[in-house]
Amino acid sequence: MDAPPAALRAARKRRKPRKGMAAMKMTRLHIAGVLVVTLLVLIGGCSLTGRKDAVYEADAAPPPPSAPSEAAAPGLEGPAAPRMASDESGAGEADNTATTAGPTAAGVTRRIIKTGEMTVEVERLSDSLEKARGIAEDAGGYVADLNVTEDTEGRRRGTVTVRVPADKFDAVFKALQGIGRAISFNESAQDVTEEWVDLEARISNKKEEEAALLALLKRKGELSDILEIQRETFRVRGEVEQLEGRLRYLKNQVSLSTISVSLIEPGLAAVAEQGPWRVGYHLRTAWHTLLRTLEGLLYLVFYVTIVGSVIWVPVVLLVLWARRRARRRRAAEAAGNSRVDGNA
């Protein structure tokens, strides 16, 4: 028999709450899923924009390649483009142009800046300057600076600065000492490996940050957001150029060593020497001293004759005029006396 209508209506009323509870459970699941997805997107955006510069130690291994990522920025639409490494000339130059002192235990090549300076006594300054220029050019270098001075006594001193390939430093340093008699010399080496590696790592990170900003700049969005990203891109580009400039300077200093040479003629160096007494050197110094003394006396005569003429020429003229006047007076007195005697 069929159930009475009253019983059917009661059963239907009992089933309706169950369906409503199931629908509420599905809605809660959908909301939870949307919240999870939104949280993941926000975390990804923070990881993209909140990247900090990483400083690598000299023995650190190269970082693994970064995988493409998508991040949502406020006011922008569409996924971000994958980050790419830029191949610019400033930081992408080959390291074979830089002279090194060999790899370290960790596999990092040492970067050494070599410099040297010396003082050499020479017979003829002009010829010695040309010899120094020839030594530098034969080694593949050049003269960076040349200066010649002369003191009040006519003694000349020359200073020449040469830049030569670092692998030719020792040979050129020895050859320059052979121009004359080396009075003093000094050479030094500066290790810039740590700064070199740090600059390369910072440049790489800054370029990745710049690539991410450029990708965001290509997407559509609010004008204020685009201007903010553009300002940040310009700031990062300025930092990259500054770091690349410092790295180029280090590469130049490492690849080309600097040697400064002071060339002096005999008589400028101190007579007191270390080591055995050299007769020829002291005779030569005494001869030059005698010549300088005679030159000084000759200059004194010239100065007294020319400059002192303002004083002594009027004095001489006054004396001559006084003597002539006195002579005329005596002659007049003598003539008057002779006339008096004749009249008498």
Query: In the chain, where are the structural domains located?
Result: 27-58+101-268
Residues 55/196, Cβ–Cβ less than 8 Å: no
User: Whole-angstrom Cα distance, residue 197 to residue 189?
Assistant: 18
pLDDT at residue 174, rounded to an integer? 94
- Please state the length of the chain: 344
The secondary structure of 10-43, three-state, reads HHHHHHHHHHHHHHHHHHHHHHHHHHHHHHHHHH
Kindly report, residue by residue over 46-87, the tens digit of the pLDDT: 444 444 343 333 333 344 333 333 333 334 443 333 333 333
Which residue from 255, 215, 207 is spatially nearest to 97, judged by alpha carbons? 255
Residues 157/263, Cβ–Cβ less than 8 Å: yes
CA atoms within 13 A on the CB side of 231: 6
Higher pLDDT, 333 or 321: 321
Higher pLDDT, 206 or 80: 206
User: Whole-angstrom Cα distance, residue 181 to residue 185?
Assistant: 11
Contacts of residue 152, Cβ cutoff 8 Å, sequence gap at least 6: none
Nearest-Å Rg of the Cα atoms of the chain is 46
Fold assignment, 27-58+101-268: Alpha-Beta Plaits (3.30.70)
Residues 197/286, Cβ–Cβ less than 8 Å: no
Number of other CB atoms surrounding residue 124 within 10 Å:
13
Contacts of residue 88, Cβ cutoff 8 Å, sequence gap at least 6: 207, 240, 244
Secondary structure class of 187 (helix, strand, coil)? strand
Residues 148/140, Cβ–Cβ less than 8 Å: no
User: Whole-angstrom Cα distance, residue 83 to residue 63?
Assistant: 14
pLDDT at residue 290, rounded to an integer? 82
Q: pLDDT band at 275, cuts 50/70/90?
A: very low
pTM of the model: 0.50
Out of 89-93, 121-125, 308-312, 327-331, the most confident range is: 121-125
User: Whole-angstrom Cα distance, residue 44 to residue 46?
Assistant: 5
Whether the per-residue pLDDT at 98 is higher than 70: the answer is no
The one-character DSSP state at 81 is: P
Weakest-pLDDT range from 106-120, 165-179, 227-241, 289-303: 289-303
User: Whole-angstrom Cα distance, residue 120 to residue 255?
Assistant: 26
pLDDT at residue 232, rounded to an integer? 93
pLDDT at residue 194, rounded to an integer? 94
pLDDT at residue 129, rounded to an integer? 92
DSSP β-ladder status, 109-121 and 256-264? parallel
Which residue from 151, 183, 186 is spatially nearest to 263, judged by alpha carbons? 183
pLDDT at residue 156, rounded to an integer? 82
Mean pLDDT, to the nearest integer, of 304-323? 83
User: Whole-angstrom Cα distance, residue 70 to residue 216?
Assistant: 10
